Amino acid sequence: MAHSFARPRKSVTLTILMAGLVVYSLFPLWWLLMSATKPQELLSGSFGLLPAGEFALFANISEVLTHQDGIFVRWFGNTVVYVLAGAGGATLFAALGGYGLAKYRFRGRNAVFATVLGAVAVPGAALAVPTFLMFSELGLTNTMWSVILPTMVSPFGLYLMWVFASEAIPTELLEAARVDGAGEWRTFFTISLRLLAPGIVTVALFVIVATWNNYFLPLIMLSDKNLFPLAIGLASWNADATGVGATPVFHLVITGAVLTILPIVAVFLLLQRYWQSGLSAGGVKG
């Protein structure tokens, strides 16, 4: 704990003020949860913040999982693939690269720094259209790679890992390992990796969220429904409710949204301890 002096008195005013903010943050989610318990026809007719009609949550969930031959399950699987390969790759490359930049001096290091730092300021979405144009020339669009490859690059992750590695790994420790005759990569895996863990978890979580929620990139790249991640899949169900010959499935969109949010929130809560220490120790301190 950073400050351990006399515990300040609790403030009711402040608590009420913050409670307002908490309500603002949570009531849309409450609305979502309540809506997920309603059948399609009651969604618009009933008051949003209270349950109405029969309790249809489980019926809705089973319909989500079976609608259009269970494509939701497939989207879920795709999302997991994109997260494991894309976010996993991004985290790995950022950890290696950040470590390399922090702990070694080599020719061209400054150039790498400058390029990567410049890249942090380039909006990812501004890059998405050019990337799409290039990928379409290469015949990569509408493949899983078209989503995975761009996801694997996280200049900000690299930056974060660099800051973290500079702080968390004493250079003396590496020197000691070298004296013992350990190779650079072996040192990395046996000593540095463990010290980098909180930073890695932090970067991983932010890249995972970004990937889990990514909309623009897969929207551009993918046309085959079977390759969609959850975010695009839900949007396409939402679009099904609009148009000629529309089949409104808002109850599925809503229940599907709940099912999409749950895993990511769970991951966050479970790993809370790690990413918070990672954030405070390295990420934003500088």
Partner 1 sequence: MNDLKEEAPMSIKRNLTRSRRVAAAAAVTVLATTLAACGGGEPGSGEEPAEAASAEEIEAALEEGGTIDFWTWTPQAQKQIDAFEKAYPNMTVNLTDTQGAEDHNTALQNAISAGSGIPDVAQLEYQSVPQFQLPGQLTDLTAYGFGDHEALYTPSTWGAVSQNGGIWGLPQDSGPMALFYNADVFEEHDLVVPETWDEYVEQARKLKEADPDKAMINDDGNGAGGVTSMIWQAGGKPFQVDGDTVTVDLADEGTQKWAEMYQQFIDEELASDIPGWTDEWYQALADGTIASIVVGAWMPGVLESGAPDGSGKWRVAPMPTYDGTPVNAENGGSTEVVPEGSDDKLLAAGFLQWLNADPESIKVFMETGGFPATVAELESEEFLGFESEYFGGQKINEVLAGGAENVVEGWQYLPWQSYANSIFSDTVGQAYLDKTSLLDGLAAWQEENVRYGTEQGFTVNG
Partner 2 sequence: MAGTGTPVLGRRPPSLRVSAAGWSFVAPFLVVFAFAFIAPVIYSLYLSLFRDQLMGGNQFVGFANYSAAFTDPKFWDGAGRVLLFLAVQVPIMLFVALVAALAIDSGRLFGKRFTRIALFVPYAVPGVVAVLMWGFMYGERIGMVGWLNDAVGSQVLAPFTKEWILVAIGNIVTWEFVGYNMLILYAALRTVPGELYEAAALDGANQWRVISAVKLPALRGALIIATIFSIIGSFQLFNEPSILQSLAPTLISSSYTPNMYAYNLSFTGRQINYAATVAIVMGVLTAVIAYVVQLRGTRRED
- List binders of partner 2 among 117-136 (CB under 8 A): 117-127, 129-134
Binding mask 100-139 for partner 1 (x = CB under 8 A): --------------------------------xx--xxxx
| Residue with Cβ nearer partner 2 (59 or 281) | 281
CB of 31 to partner 1, least distance (A): 16
Binding mask 216-255 for partner 1 (x = CB under 8 A): ---xxxxx--------x--xx-xxxxxxxxxxx-x-----
Which helix (H) or strand (E) is 197 found in, with range?
helix 193-213
Mapping DSSP onto H, E and C, the string for 21-58 reads HHHHHHHHHHHHHHHHCCCHHHCCCCCCCCCCCCCCHH
Distance CA 201, CA 275 (A): 6
Residue 251: φ, ψ to 5°: -65, -30
97 is a site residue for partner 2 (CB under 8 A)? yes
41 is a site residue for partner 2 (CB under 8 A)? no
User: CA torsion 172→95→207→153, rounded to 10°?
Assistant: 140
The residues in 11-30 that bind partner 2, with binding defined as CB under 8 A, are: 11-12, 14-15, 17-19, 21-22, 24-26, 28-29
Task: From 43-51, 59-67, 69-77, 193-201, give the range in contact with partner 2 by CB under 8 A.
Answer: 43-51
User: CA torsion 51→56→57→59, rounded to 10°?
Assistant: -170
Residue 228: φ, ψ to 5°: -60, 145
| Residue with Cβ nearer partner 1 (160 or 232) | 232
Q: In sequence order, which residues have a C-beta less than 8 Å from that of residue 129 and are 6 or more positions away? A: 220
95 is a site residue for partner 1 (CB under 8 A)? no
Q: What are the residues binding partner 1 (CB under 8 A)?
A: 44, 132-133, 136-139, 141-142, 219-223, 232, 235-236, 238-248, 250
